[in-house]
Each structure stands twice: as structure tokens, then as C-alpha cells.
């Protein structure tokens, strides 16, 4: 049994992680740290777990009781925790869900945890930087093209995300009264996930020009991401479909479908639902994920399974709610 500990355990990603690990046959949560909720039952922050766990939040994490530590703190806080609490004191595995270690310049020994691109590196690692949610959806839309050396022009991406992607702490743009019936663009061309996207595409194809034009959109729903990405493509429609289907043939969590997908196919699951088509000289890839599962906590558990030699899909047989 893998003993897991969670840092910053009161937020959305930690709540999703607790739900997944609660049903994982090969893992158990031994502590859930939250300074703001210390001493309170976990179910008080995550009400859907009432009656399912007796765990209480702790203020100080007993790190050496865990085989793996998931860091679910806000961006910019993970490095401090690793340096102050783990370096030289903890020999177990670490999976960080923030953006602190994702870029090579900041990695400090962390391996970038996108299994569909770097599975063997993940298996041999002890510290994993879990990818961002938008970054996951965008990269899965583009990996086959990058691997085939086809990204020779600018890539244009639009993505729309649910409000849970902004975290549990309320703000004007996550408030129901503002978000409902509303849409807005934010951080056009400058989103923080662009760096890791370009980094991966360049690793797969060093000749990639590095230009990804990304327009993120706040959606008026809670969960899910839809990404559309298009780029110049010399292949026929049949060849393009064969390229994507072949690349993802053995991937347990990417499903290439022959129709325009909708987000309900992915929400609640660790799956990416992907469709690719040809329009004139352009390839269009549509990528759907759940921002809290494949975009965060589900992918973190997928990485944990790889680290510990378990079946990659263990604990992640999650089904979408279609209706």
C-alpha cells in the first residue's frame, strides 16, 4: 500500500485527489495538511467525503510517514516547502501540482510529468512536476504533430476553462454572479502555461519555431477544458487521422474519436477526448479534459502509479456523467 500525504489539502485539486485516492486499491492517505483548517475533519472542507473518511487536517505535516507527498499549495509556494521541509530530510517521492518546477530552468531535479510524452523518464524519477491543466490539453492536441516534425508554422490555440481552474479562493471573476452567463478573455498570448507547452514541443522537435499563439477564455461552468488548436499541415485528412490514432493507440487515457466531441465526455474522468480534422491547408485538433482530473489530480495519481510500478490506470477507472 502506497502511503500518500497531501500538502495544502483544503483546495479543489486536493479535494479531487482525496476522492481519487479514497477509491485507489493500492494507496491510502496518511495525512492531509492545511494550516487554515488544522484540527478540522477533512469532510468539513470536502463535504462529499462525509462518512467516507475519519481523516482530520493537520497543521504540521509528518512527511516521513508518507511514501509520496502531493503538493497542492498555490503557485509560488512549493519551492519554499521543498527547500525548508523536504531537502535533506525526506527520501520519498514528491509530486508537485504547482508551476514551480515545470520549466527546465526551475526544475531542480523534478521531471516533467506528462506521461504521453515522457513516460520512461517519469518511471525512473523521484520528483515530478505535474503539468498545468491548459498545458495538458494543448500538448495532447499537438504531440503527434511535434513528434512527426510537422509544426513548421505558428500554432494558434483557443481554450475555454471552468471556474475551478482558478482555485478555491473566491475572486470577482470566479464569483457566480459575475461568471454565470458571461465569458471573458484573460492573459492573451501571455498565459503562464505557454512556457511548458513550448518546452515540450521543442524537446520533441528541436526545429519547432516556438510560436504558440494562445487565447484563454473564462467559461461560465465549473469544470472542464476545451482547446482548439490549428496549424499548417501537409498531410491529407486520412493521413492526419492515422497519425493521431497511431500515436495514441496504446495510451490508456487519450481517446481519438471520429466526431466533434463535447466536454461532458471528459468531465469527471482522467481521459482526454481528442478529434482531428483537415480544413484546406490546416489541421484542427480539438482536445477535451477535466481540468481537475487529467489536468491536475488524476494525472498526479497516474504519475504516482508510474513511479511505484503499479498499473498506470489503477484507481483511475472514472466514468463521465453524460446526462
Type and span of the H or E element at 231: strand 225-232
What is 133-291's CATH topology? Dihydrodipicolinate Reductase; domain 2 (3.30.360)
**Nearest of 284, 304, 302 to residue 142 by alpha carbon:** 284
Half-sphere exposure of 278 (CA within 13 A, CB side): 15
Residues 178-192: what's their mean pLDDT? 92
The answer on pLDDT for 283 being more than 80 is yes
Exposure of 40 in the CB half-sphere (CA atoms within 13 A): 14
What does the mean pLDDT of the chain come to?
Answer: 95
Look at the block and give the residue holding cell 487521422: 241
Return the closest-CA partner of residue 157 out of 188, 181, 179.
Answer: 188
Name the pLDDT band for 165 (thresholds 50, 70, 90): confident
Give pLDDT tens digits for 30-44: 999 999 999 999 999
Q: Active site residue: 40, 72, 133, 233, which one?
A: 133
Architecture of the CATH domain 2-131+294-307: 3-Layer(aba) Sandwich (3.40)
Model pTM?
0.96
Quick check: helix, strand or coil at residue 240? helix
Residue 187 has pLDDT above 90, yes or no: yes
Contacts for 28 with CB less than 8 Å, ≥ 6 apart: 1, 2, 3, 4, 21
User: Is residue 67 scored above 90 in pLDDT?
Assistant: yes
Residue-wise pLDDT tens digits, 79-88: 999 999 999 9
40 tagged catalytic: no
In the chain, alpha helices (H): 12-22, 42-45, 78-81, 115-123, 133-147, 176-179, 194-204, 237-247, 298-307
Predicted confidence (pLDDT) at residue 169 exceeds the cutoff of 80: no
Tell me the sheet residues that pair with 251: none
Q: Which residues contact 197 (CB under 8 A, 6 or more apart)?
A: 135, 138, 139, 142, 212, 214
CB burial of 242-262 (b: ≥16 within 10 Å; e: otherwise) equals ebbeebbeebbbbbbeeeebe
Residue 192's pLDDT band (cuts 50, 70, 90): very high
Give the DSSP letter of residue 220: S
Q: How many CB atoms lie within 10 A of CB 238?
A: 9
Integer Cα distance of 254 and 20 in angstroms:
19
Q: What is the mean pLDDT of residues 177-191?
A: 91
Give residue-wise pLDDT tens across range 124-138: 999 999 999 999 999
Q: Return the closest-CA partner of residue 254 out of 201, 316, 311, 208.
A: 316
Give the pLDDT confidence score for residue 170 in this predicted structure: 66
Say which residue the cell 491529407 belongs to.
236
Whether residue 116 is predicted with pLDDT greater than 90 in this model: the reply is: yes
pLDDT band at 106 (very low <50, low <70, confident <90, very high): very high
User: How does pLDDT run across 230-253, given as a tens digit for each residue?
Assistant: 999 999 999 999 999 999 999 999
- Across 115-119, 169-173, 296-300, least confident range: 169-173
* Residues 233, 251: Cα–Cα separation, whole Å: 24
Query: Rounded mean pLDDT of 209-214?
Result: 91
List all residues 6 or more positions away from 233 whose beta carbon is below 8 Å from its beta carbon: 145, 150, 240, 278, 281, 282, 283
Domain boundaries defined on the chain: 2-131+294-307, 133-291
Say if CB 200 and CB 112 are below 8 A apart: yes
Q: Which residue do the cell numbers 485528412 mark?
A: 237
pLDDT at residue 167 in the model: 66
Average pLDDT over residues 18-33: 97
10 band by pLDDT with thresholds 50, 70 and 90? very high
**Does the pLDDT value for residue 24 go beyond 90?**
yes
Amino acid at each position: 500500500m502506497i502511503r500518500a500525504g497531501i500538502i495544502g489539502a483544503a483546495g479543489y485539486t486536493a479535494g479531487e485527489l482525496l476522492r481519487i485516492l479514497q477509491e485507489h486499491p493500492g494507496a491510502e492517505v496518511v495525512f492531509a495538511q492545511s494550516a487554515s483548517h488544522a484540527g478540522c475533519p477533512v469532510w468539513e472542507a470536502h463535504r462529499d467525503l462525509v462518512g467516507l473518511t475519519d481523516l482530520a487536517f493537520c497543521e504540521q505535516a509528518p512527511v516521513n510517514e508518507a511514501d509520496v507527498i502531493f503538493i497542492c499549495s498555490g503557485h509560488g509556494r512549493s519551492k519554499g516547502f521543498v527547500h525548508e521541509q523536504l531537502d535533506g530530510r525526506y527520501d520519498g517521492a514528491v509530486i508537485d501540482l504547482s508551476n514551480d518546477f515545470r520549466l527546465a530552468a526551475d526544475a531542480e531535479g523534478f521531471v516533467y510529468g506528462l506521461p504521453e510524452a515522457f513516460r520512461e523518464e517519469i518511471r525512473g524519477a523521484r520528483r515530478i512536476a505535474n503539468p498545468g491543466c491548459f498545458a495538458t490539453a494543448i500538448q495532447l492536441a499537438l504531440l503527434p504533430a511535434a513528434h512527426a516534425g510537422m509544426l513548421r508554422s505558428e500554432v494558434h490555440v483557443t481554450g475555454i476553462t471552468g471556474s475551478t481552474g482558478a482555485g478555491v479562493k473566491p475572486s470577482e471573476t470566479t464569483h457566480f454572479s459575475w461568471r454565470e452567463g458571461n465569458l471573458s478573455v484573460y492573459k492573451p498570448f501571455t498565459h503562464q502555461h505557454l512556457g511548458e507547452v513550448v518546452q515540450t514541443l521543442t524537446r520533441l522537435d528541436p526545429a519547432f519555431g516556438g510560436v504558440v499563439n494562445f487565447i484563454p477564455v473564462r467559461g461560465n461552468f465549473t469544470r472542464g477544458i476545451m482547446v482548439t488548436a490549428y496549424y499548417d499541415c501537409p498531410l491529407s485528412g486520412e493521413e492526419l487521422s492515422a497519425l493521431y490514432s497511431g500515436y495514441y493507440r496504446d495510451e490508456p487515457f487519450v481517446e481519438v474519436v471520429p466526431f466533434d466531441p463535447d466536454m461532458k465526455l471528459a468531465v469527471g474522468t482522467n481521459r482526454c477526448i481528442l478529434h482531428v480534422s483537415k480544413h484546406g491547408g490546416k489541421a484542427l485538433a480539438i482536445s477535451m479534459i477535466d481540468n481537475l482530473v487529467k489536468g491536475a489530480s488524476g494525472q498526479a495519481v497516474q504519475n504516482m502509479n508510474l513511479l511505484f510500478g503499479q498499473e498506470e490506470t489503477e484507481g483511475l477507472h472514472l466514468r463521465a456523467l453524460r446526462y
